[in-house]
Amino acid sequence: MTEETMTSGLRKLQAKLDLRPVLLLAVMYGVIAFLPFGIFGWLQNEDGIMEWASVALLILSALNAFRLQKQSTQGWERLSWLLFFVLCCLFIGEEISWGERLHGFGIDAIRSINTQGETNLHNIGAFQGQGLLHLGWATLGFVLGLGGFLLGSSPLIPTSRYTLYFTLPAIWYLGFEFCRKAGECLITVANHQEIYEVLIIAGLYLHTRCWCRKRGLSTRIFRIG
């Protein structure tokens, strides 16, 4: 296979698939993971840059969904974008423990059964102990990643072009849960959950931005000039 043929094939693939998730993982595990001073952990650990990037992208996705539901003329489409908006708000609340990390107030009854001692539902011990959190993320990833091939793009289903933002995390979550339960793996799978969360949420943001552009809606927050 010649270099020209490979380049042509890659361009065709890029036209059909957004390959940036592969690039991000290659940079994270092939470069940043080997940098000194704990830079890798600083980026992807709890309360790290990637977690707050997820919150920012969820906020932007919610804003886009709200704009889209205001413009929608079909009832089913408006309801779909409203549901998308509500789900984004719920994800934001859970991600920041409903503001507890900012204001310090929480619910002791939830804290006492939470693996991180915080006021959120997704880290409740019984929920995590049975692997429901990881299996839930995996299911969400496969539905969002493969739905575009089967059903086409809709307010709640991203286009197939963004499949890697969802299917790669889904595969990782399944692998991580298998290794966690088995207690051993041929390849050690560390808990790098924030990397895969931000991939899924970035895919959701790109999905809403794509729809905004198709409808002629600006995705800018601030207007300059």
Q: Supply 11's token pair.
A: 């361009």
DSSP tag of 47: T
Is 14 within the bounds of a domain? no
CA separation for the pair 223, 220 (Å, rounded): 7
Q: Is the pTM of this model over 0.85?
A: yes
The pLDDT value given to residue 225: 38
Domain that holds residue 164: 20-214
Residues of the chain with pLDDT under 50: 224-225
- Tokens 């399944």, residue located: 174
End-to-end alpha-carbon separation of the chain, Å? Answer: 52
Is 224 within the bounds of a domain? no
Is 161 within the bounds of a domain? yes
Is 93 within the bounds of a domain? yes
Provide the domain count of the chain.
1
Is 15 within the bounds of a domain? no
Give 74-83 contacts, CB < 8 A, sequence gap 24+: 77/155, 80/154, 80/155, 80/156, 81/155, 83/156
CA separation for the pair 124, 131 (Å, rounded): 11
Instruction: For 68-124, write each residue's pLDDT tens digit.
Output: 999 988 889 999 999 999 999 999 998 888 778 777 777 878 888 887 778 887 778
Query: Where do runs of H (alpha helix) occur along 17-74?
Result: 20-30, 39-44, 49-71
